[in-house]
Copies of this chain bind each other. A is one copy, B any other.
């Protein structure tokens, strides 16, 4: 298909596609003439992936590039590959305590593995620091209230990855699944709170 058809197929303006091409995010099409190229299904999929990543708040273009690099040439180990790609997603916290001692305590108490270089560890430390500063509680009971459901949910979320043959497919699923279900979970949580408070006001 021509670039105008690629635009129609993906709902992405031609100018945006040209930007992706210039930035090297989207591979060039097959040249059919000096100023024309033809695009295939792989391009459609790639544009959809770039568009999905572009919709993630606070994800800079440099990080999109990092993620696409992992998708294109994933490390052979799928855990390593998905970890590396997900690590490029925001936020990028820089906690005050670089030893991440507080996060380490919590992670080990919960029976998870402490990996200081995995960004979610620093993310946890920053979140715990913010709770402490605000005087909000964090006890082993509160920790378990979140952990057990997240493990339950996590198993379901990861299940489709078992069926994926190619590492790049698994990486794409992990990145998009991590980034795009997050806003959904947070929106639902707020709606549930509001619902529960409203119910409590009007007991049936």
Chain A residues at the B interface, C-beta cutoff of 8 Å: 11, 48-49, 51-52, 55, 57-58, 77-79, 82-83, 86, 91, 107, 112-113, 115, 118, 120-121, 123-124, 126-128, 130-131, 133-136, 142, 145-147, 149-158, 161, 174, 176-178, 180-198, 200-201
Bound complex: CA A145 to CA B158 (Å): 13
- Whether A113 touches B48, Cβ cut-off 8 Å, given contacts A128-B184, A154-B193, is no
- Whether A48 touches B118, Cβ cut-off 8 Å, given contacts A124-B184, A178-B193, is no
In contact, A79 and B197 (Cβ under 8 angstroms): yes
In contact, B134 and A187 (Cβ under 8 angstroms): no
Main secondary structure of the interface of A (DSSP, over half): helix
CB-CB under 8 A from A113, the residues of chain B are: 194-195, 198
CB-CB under 8 A from A147, the residues of chain B are: 188, 192
Bound complex: CA A137 to CA B163 (Å): 16
- Some 12 contacts from A to B, beta carbons below 8 A apart, are A58-B58, A77-B201, A78-B201, A82-B197, A113-B198, A120-B187, A120-B190, A123-B190, A136-B181, A146-B184, A147-B188, A149-B150
In contact, B133 and A188 (Cβ under 8 angstroms): no
CB-CB under 8 A from A184, the residues of chain B are: 124, 127-128, 131, 146
Bound complex: CA A113 to CA B182 (Å): 21
A83 interface neighbour in B153, B186, B194, B200, Cβ under 8 Å: B194
